[in-house]
Amino acid sequence: MNSYTYDEIVIGQTEQFCVTVTEDMQDAFRKITGDLNPLHGDAAFAKRNGHGGPVVFGMLTMSFLSTLAGMYLPGKNSLIQGVSGKLRKPVYIGDTLTVEGVVSDKSDAVHVIGIKYSITNQDGVKVAKGEMQIGVENYE
Protein backbone atom coordinates (compact mmCIF):
# COMPACT_ATOMS: atom_id res chain seq x y z
CA MET A 1 0.00 0.00 0.00
CA ASN A 2 1.36 3.41 -0.97
CA SER A 3 1.14 6.24 1.54
CA TYR A 4 1.86 9.40 -0.40
CA THR A 5 1.40 12.71 1.38
CA TYR A 6 -0.26 15.60 -0.43
CA ASP A 7 3.09 17.33 -1.01
CA GLU A 8 4.66 14.23 -2.50
CA ILE A 9 2.03 13.92 -5.23
CA VAL A 10 2.74 15.58 -8.57
CA ILE A 11 0.50 16.27 -11.54
CA GLY A 12 1.01 13.57 -14.15
CA GLN A 13 1.83 10.90 -11.56
CA THR A 14 0.42 7.57 -12.70
CA GLU A 15 -0.43 4.33 -10.90
CA GLN A 16 -1.98 1.19 -12.29
CA PHE A 17 -2.81 -2.39 -11.39
CA CYS A 18 -4.51 -5.40 -12.98
CA VAL A 19 -7.37 -7.49 -11.66
CA THR A 20 -9.24 -10.45 -13.11
CA VAL A 21 -12.98 -10.44 -12.45
CA THR A 22 -14.09 -13.82 -11.10
CA GLU A 23 -17.47 -15.43 -10.64
CA ASP A 24 -16.86 -15.30 -6.87
CA MET A 25 -16.56 -11.51 -7.10
CA GLN A 26 -19.77 -11.29 -9.10
CA ASP A 27 -21.58 -13.51 -6.58
CA ALA A 28 -20.24 -11.54 -3.61
CA PHE A 29 -21.29 -8.25 -5.21
CA ARG A 30 -24.78 -9.61 -5.84
CA LYS A 31 -25.01 -10.64 -2.20
CA ILE A 32 -23.87 -7.22 -0.95
CA THR A 33 -26.23 -5.23 -3.13
CA GLY A 34 -29.21 -7.54 -3.52
CA ASP A 35 -29.16 -6.68 -7.23
CA LEU A 36 -30.67 -9.82 -8.74
CA ASN A 37 -30.94 -8.44 -12.28
CA PRO A 38 -30.76 -11.43 -14.68
CA LEU A 39 -28.30 -9.68 -17.01
CA HIS A 40 -25.65 -10.34 -14.36
CA GLY A 41 -26.53 -13.87 -13.30
CA ASP A 42 -28.64 -15.67 -15.92
CA ALA A 43 -26.39 -16.78 -18.78
CA ALA A 44 -29.32 -17.70 -21.05
CA PHE A 45 -30.93 -14.28 -20.51
CA ALA A 46 -27.65 -12.48 -21.18
CA LYS A 47 -26.98 -14.49 -24.36
CA ARG A 48 -30.52 -13.97 -25.63
CA ASN A 49 -29.87 -10.26 -25.32
CA GLY A 50 -26.64 -10.03 -27.24
CA HIS A 51 -23.96 -10.86 -24.68
CA GLY A 52 -21.44 -13.68 -24.54
CA GLY A 53 -22.43 -14.43 -20.96
CA PRO A 54 -23.45 -12.68 -17.75
CA VAL A 55 -22.37 -9.04 -17.75
CA VAL A 56 -20.25 -7.92 -14.80
CA PHE A 57 -22.13 -5.40 -12.66
CA GLY A 58 -21.09 -1.92 -13.79
CA MET A 59 -20.75 -0.82 -10.19
CA LEU A 60 -18.49 -3.82 -9.52
CA THR A 61 -16.16 -2.55 -12.23
CA MET A 62 -16.35 0.88 -10.57
CA SER A 63 -15.53 -0.73 -7.20
CA PHE A 64 -11.92 -1.13 -8.25
CA LEU A 65 -11.65 2.66 -8.00
CA SER A 66 -11.69 2.01 -4.25
CA THR A 67 -8.51 -0.02 -4.73
CA LEU A 68 -6.95 2.61 -6.99
CA ALA A 69 -7.48 5.34 -4.39
CA GLY A 70 -7.03 3.39 -1.17
CA MET A 71 -4.01 1.30 -2.16
CA TYR A 72 -2.21 3.25 -4.90
CA LEU A 73 -3.07 6.92 -5.39
CA PRO A 74 -2.61 8.24 -2.76
CA GLY A 75 -2.92 4.96 -0.85
CA LYS A 76 -3.21 5.01 2.93
CA ASN A 77 -4.10 8.73 3.22
CA SER A 78 -7.06 8.48 0.82
CA LEU A 79 -10.59 9.73 1.33
CA ILE A 80 -12.73 9.59 -1.81
CA GLN A 81 -14.91 12.70 -2.12
CA GLY A 82 -16.33 12.35 -5.60
CA VAL A 83 -16.48 9.95 -8.52
CA SER A 84 -17.81 10.24 -12.04
CA GLY A 85 -17.57 7.86 -14.91
CA LYS A 86 -18.96 6.38 -18.07
CA LEU A 87 -19.39 2.64 -18.52
CA ARG A 88 -18.67 2.33 -22.22
CA LYS A 89 -18.42 -1.39 -22.96
CA PRO A 90 -19.53 -4.57 -21.16
CA VAL A 91 -17.17 -6.51 -18.91
CA TYR A 92 -17.47 -10.31 -18.66
CA ILE A 93 -16.45 -12.81 -16.00
CA GLY A 94 -12.81 -13.75 -16.58
CA ASP A 95 -11.85 -10.39 -18.10
CA THR A 96 -8.59 -8.96 -16.81
CA LEU A 97 -8.89 -5.23 -16.24
CA THR A 98 -6.10 -2.68 -16.07
CA VAL A 99 -7.12 0.16 -13.78
CA GLU A 100 -5.03 3.27 -14.28
CA GLY A 101 -5.16 6.68 -12.64
CA VAL A 102 -3.28 9.86 -13.53
CA VAL A 103 -3.15 12.90 -11.26
CA SER A 104 -4.71 15.73 -13.27
CA ASP A 105 -5.20 18.39 -10.64
CA LYS A 106 -4.19 19.49 -7.13
CA SER A 107 -6.23 21.83 -4.92
CA ASP A 108 -3.73 23.11 -2.37
CA ALA A 109 -6.28 24.90 -0.18
CA VAL A 110 -8.19 21.70 0.60
CA HIS A 111 -5.57 19.00 -0.15
CA VAL A 112 -7.77 17.34 -2.76
CA ILE A 113 -6.32 15.69 -5.85
CA GLY A 114 -8.14 15.12 -9.13
CA ILE A 115 -7.51 11.84 -10.90
CA LYS A 116 -8.44 10.81 -14.42
CA TYR A 117 -8.88 7.07 -14.57
CA SER A 118 -9.41 4.48 -17.25
CA ILE A 119 -10.32 0.82 -17.01
CA THR A 120 -9.20 -1.30 -19.98
CA ASN A 121 -9.76 -4.98 -20.68
CA GLN A 122 -7.25 -7.60 -21.91
CA ASP A 123 -8.08 -6.72 -25.54
CA GLY A 124 -7.22 -3.06 -25.05
CA VAL A 125 -10.86 -1.96 -25.03
CA LYS A 126 -11.55 0.93 -22.66
CA VAL A 127 -14.58 -0.27 -20.68
CA ALA A 128 -14.81 2.72 -18.34
CA LYS A 129 -13.31 6.13 -17.86
CA GLY A 130 -13.88 9.13 -15.66
CA GLU A 131 -12.60 11.25 -12.82
CA MET A 132 -12.27 11.12 -9.06
CA GLN A 133 -11.71 13.76 -6.40
CA ILE A 134 -9.74 12.38 -3.48
CA GLY A 135 -8.85 14.08 -0.23
CA VAL A 136 -5.27 13.39 0.87
CA GLU A 137 -5.48 13.28 4.65
CA ASN A 138 -2.78 13.49 7.32
CA TYR A 139 -3.65 10.23 9.05
CA GLU A 140 -1.70 9.41 12.20
116 belongs to the binding site for a second copy (CB under 8 A) = no
Nearest residue (CB) to a second copy, 12 versus 134: 134
> Rg for the chain (alpha carbons), in Å?
16
Site string for a second copy, 20-59 (x = CB under 8 A): -----x--xx-xxxxxxxxxx----x--xx-------xxx
79 belongs to the binding site for a second copy (CB under 8 A) = yes
Instruction: Say which residues have a Cβ less than 8 Å from residue 96's Cβ, sequence separation at least 6.
Output: 18, 19, 20, 21, 121, 122
Piece of 6-14, 60-68, 101-109, 117-125 that binds a second copy (CB under 8 A): 60-68
1 belongs to the binding site for a second copy (CB under 8 A) = yes
CA distance 85 to 74: 19
Nearest residue (CB) to a second copy, 12 versus 140: 140
91 belongs to the binding site for a second copy (CB under 8 A) = no
DSSP H or E run through 20:
strand 14-20
Piece of 6-14, 64-72, 103-111, 114-122 that binds a second copy (CB under 8 A): 64-72
Write the DSSP symbol of residue 92: B
CA distance 38 to 54: 8
